Amino acid sequence: MSKAIRPGESDEDRLDRSRRIQWIDLERLSDSHCLVVGAGALGNEVVKNLVLSGVKRITLVDMDRVVRSNLNRCVFFSEDDTASDNFKSEIVAQRAGELSPGAEITPLVARIEDIDLNALARMDVAFGCLDNVAARLHLNAHTYHLGIPYVDGGTYGMAGRVQVVIPPSTPCLQCGMNRTHFKVMERRYSCTGNEASFYEPKMPAEITTTSVVAAIQVREAVKIMSGREMDCIKHILHYNGLTNASENLELSIDPQCPMHSSDNR
């Protein structure tokens, strides 16, 4: 005997529309634990998309406070947060929890370099939402070593990029680094706000590009958590918001990369 369906019953299930995409494994999403590093513009959007997708456990790392220039592209921040000098990670954790009751979002007010990432080996997916080459490489190295899939995102004005790193089969973030990246890393050790020997102007940013890049990051992670790694971005996706074009640029494994060298293996 078929079960009678009460009118409007499906509308009472907050994840009903996601259930209609047959390959999305909502049970695995609910059981997964995600690490998000960076609670700025990308971090706001990534956490929002994760909790709305059904992810229940998130650890969020950021050591910065909310400033007024964050407000035009960070959905969880308000004017009151700037006046109260609140920490980004704590505010995102609080408000994302209100967006999805039952979600457990743990804020860590710290630099990623100061956290024992071996203690985070239980994570299922890590997200890089950073504007810092050194922090990105630090996260890339530890997640690759621990075998944790890593989804890195970045924006510059109307342009953005997403790279999916799935150890040990794909190129990692360091495989695509060039001399310019390492020169920047030598000058800027972290985004802590500590005294620096040079002035680096703020990068241009706007909300639509941030939203697109963060959406792609979470979409790729949903594939990973649903066992669809074969459908993930294979190399690096570049997005151009000015021309509304995106393209995959091929990236090979660098045999000299510490993550892939024969000595490391």
- List the chain domain ranges: 22-249
CATH number 3.40.640.10 is the correct assignment for the domain at 22-249: no
The residue ranking higher by pLDDT, 219 or 235, is: 219
Contact 198, 213 (CB under 8 A): no
Q: Which two tokens stand for residue 24?
A: 């999305």
Residues 191, 188: Cα–Cα separation, whole Å: 8
Summarize pLDDT for 54-79 with one digit per residue, the tens.
999 999 999 999 999 999 999 999 99
Check: CB of residue 18 under 8 Å from CB of residue 53: yes
As given in the structure block, the two tokens for residue 252 are 């090979």
Tens of pLDDT, residue by residue over 115-158, are 988 878 889 999 999 988 899 999 999 999 999 999 999 999 99
Determine the Cα–Cα distance for residues 105 and 33; give it in Å rounded to an integer. 10
CA angle 138, 141, 145 (to 5 degrees): 145
- Examine residue 107 and say whether the peptide bond preceding it is cis (omega within 30 degrees of 0): no
More confident residue, 238 or 8: 238
164 falls in which pLDDT band (50, 70, 90)?
very high
* pLDDT, position 198: 45
pTM to 2 decimal places: 0.89
